[in-house]
Structure 1
């Protein structure tokens, strides 16, 4: 008869899945339990983006093989920065890698001999926050990630909504200023040009380059070189009381709150979860965002107001979510295949589609 220690170990390893988070410069992976705990991690640098997709996929396969040596893994979930088709199989376009119509799921299945699910990285991170992070317990959650740009995802009725073609959640490219700043997407006035990490960095550098007396602290911290100013530096100085940096975050918070009010009009969520590097500024950003949100919210004063809270899982959210989505796609032993939480459309009881 197995000892209680052996029984505990078997239970701990039941349903283990590897989650992989692919960025422009790294591949991070971890062995994730059904409860969202990470038992082991590994990381490798992403090969130069000009190299072939096969080299990147070999890197993924290598890091997965390393983690599999010590754990009985059932599947692999991959979060990729880019457009992923509705079958969760093909990366249609990845801006930071050389994937164009790349059949990533099949390529990795051939190498790994395991079930593979491919998901957009923002969707994966959002799912983790909704299930085991800041959004746990809320049925309807919108997750907004503030990084270089703005990405995000929507969870409706406990289901991840991906849109008909798998491309929902590109919030950063909502137009908030018609004819405004040019965006990398080709349009003008996109939300991410005003509320993202890049927006904060751009405004801080422009202030410093203008030799404004307000920017003395920024210039000193950047050794007199505006190009050395980063969003992280702005947040650090704001926390220490630098008023120019506090104002820069307040301005970004105002734009963030305005965009959230637009999303509230579209989705009416119970909760907004704000993640990404810029969100680490905490209340310096979120306080102004909540105030701007309340000012711009449709029906303010006569409707329930969604909460606005910071994300909890940090940089691990992507791989935790990718793992959970891959686990969810596995067949259940007693009940056969269960319907995946991730549908191209979400059906809500009582609503006609």
Structure 2
């Protein structure tokens, strides 16, 4: 077996990556703070920061008073060094957003859809990409990359199996790359919600967490020891397809009794309809109306949904012992904004006492559109990993 030797260039790129990642994830930071956080020498930090500033990747962002000395200059990743695009492929829409590196939204495009085929998704994403670039005034060569979040198992950041959509081994990244020279990255939607919340939202500071996405379907992102846990082939986190009722309702995946069949918006509305409730309008409108209804069938369905979701959370508490569970997704937020206290209390009835006492259950802080934001971090992560080096383009 050939052993690859680490070169000086490799070490320099690695050290640049450490510094850049620290500034991006924890900044603004001073050179002194970087020295402490990275364990690099003050001279190395100074030299590498000077390189990054000269290249335009990093910029000075004010100063803070120091104890008994000159003010310390703060550093941040330059927001306009490059731009990134994130796309959320949902079951009712494809949303594409363009961000600067401070993750400010500069342009947005939405395409309504229903059970989209791979070809339809590619068409909508590429149209959205063109639209947000034009609307923002950003030049295509200034875009670092396009991150795409989809419902389903994503292997090798490229190939999608989405059982509920009927997709099998779809080479989505390759299909998208045929229509643009901007680098394309693809990942699971729940993982991207998790990445966004862990970077910028309710997950910050936690090292062991679960970020739960509840929308039409249900998924989760697992974080262990500060790193995303993906499993053998990247399908870890398919929490929506754990069996919650043996021999229960049929899930969209074809199995019986999945959690998704009871707490996903589609399943909740199906149960409400079967109980005699009136379901009108699109899925989101009908779900919000259900939560606002004072009818007896609505009250029963809501209480049952809280119970099923609590049981699912309790299983996570007992199985992975997270310090934090973050509830997100449009349906999860709608439910949690009205019933979070009840949900917490119900989790306590099902979970083991000690791990339940160690977990906090909170709502996402980035809102219902955080999936596209998370997708946009994919090219940012590549930039950080490569120490600020720009990707090759076709």
Question: Which TM-score band applies after superposition, normalised by the shorter structure?
Answer: 0.7 to 0.9
Asked if the contact 1:77–1:118 (Cα under 8 Å) also holds between the matched residues in 2, the reply is: yes
Asked if the contact 1:36–1:132 (Cα under 8 Å) also holds between the matched residues in 2, the reply is: no
- Is structure 2 residue 180 aligned with structure 1 residue 107? no
Asked if the contact 2:216–2:265 (Cα under 8 Å) also holds between the matched residues in 1, the reply is: yes
List aligned pairs for 1:32-181, cutoff 5 A: 32-46=99-113, 49=116, 53-69=118-134, 70-71=137-138, 72-85=142-155, 87-93=156-162, 95-96=164-165, 99-181=167-249
Structure 1 equivalent of residue 367 of structure 2? 314
Asked if the contact 2:78–2:101 (Cα under 8 Å) also holds between the matched residues in 1, the reply is: no
Q: 1:64 to 1:228 in 2, by over 3 A?
A: closer
Asked if the contact 1:146–1:274 (Cα under 8 Å) also holds between the matched residues in 2, the reply is: yes
Asked if the contact 2:313–2:347 (Cα under 8 Å) also holds between the matched residues in 1, the reply is: yes
Asked if the contact 1:250–1:285 (Cα under 8 Å) also holds between the matched residues in 2, the reply is: no
Q: Which runs of 5+ in 2 are unaligned?
A: 1-59, 62-76
- CA RMSD, aligned part only? 3.1
**2: CA distance between counterparts of 1:289 and 1:171?**
17
Secondary structure (helix, strand or coil) at the match of 1:95 reads helix
Give the paired residue count: 310
Asked if the contact 2:328–2:368 (Cα under 8 Å) also holds between the matched residues in 1, the reply is: no
Asked if the contact 1:249–1:285 (Cα under 8 Å) also holds between the matched residues in 2, the reply is: no
Shift of 1:229: 9.4
Secondary structure (helix, strand or coil) at the match of 2:221 reads strand
Structure 2 equivalent of residue 293 of structure 1? 347
Asked if the contact 2:97–2:372 (Cα under 8 Å) also holds between the matched residues in 1, the reply is: yes
Structure 2 equivalent of residue 262 of structure 1? 315
Shift of 1:128: 1.0
Asked if the contact 1:257–1:288 (Cα under 8 Å) also holds between the matched residues in 2, the reply is: no
TM-score (norm. length: structure 2):
0.70
Runs of 4+ in structure 1 deviating by more than 6 angstroms, as ranges, are none
Shift of 1:15: 3.8
Shift of 1:136: 1.9
TM-score (norm. length: structure 1):
0.77
Shift of 1:31: 1.2
**1: CA distance between counterparts of 2:258 and 2:112?**
31
List aligned pairs for 1:177-196, cutoff 5 A: 177-196=245-264
**2: CA distance between counterparts of 1:331 and 1:62?**
28
Q: Which runs of 5+ in 1 are unaligned?
A: 1-6, 209-217, 338-353
Shift of 1:119: 0.4
Shift of 1:260: 0.8
**1: CA distance between counterparts of 2:109 and 2:284?**
30
Could you tell me which of 282, 291, 296 is aligned with 1:235? 291
Q: Which has the larger radius of gyration?
A: 2
- Is structure 2 residue 82 aligned with structure 1 residue 29? no
- Return the structure number with greater relative CO, CA threshold 8 A, min gap 6: 1
Shift of 1:205: 1.8
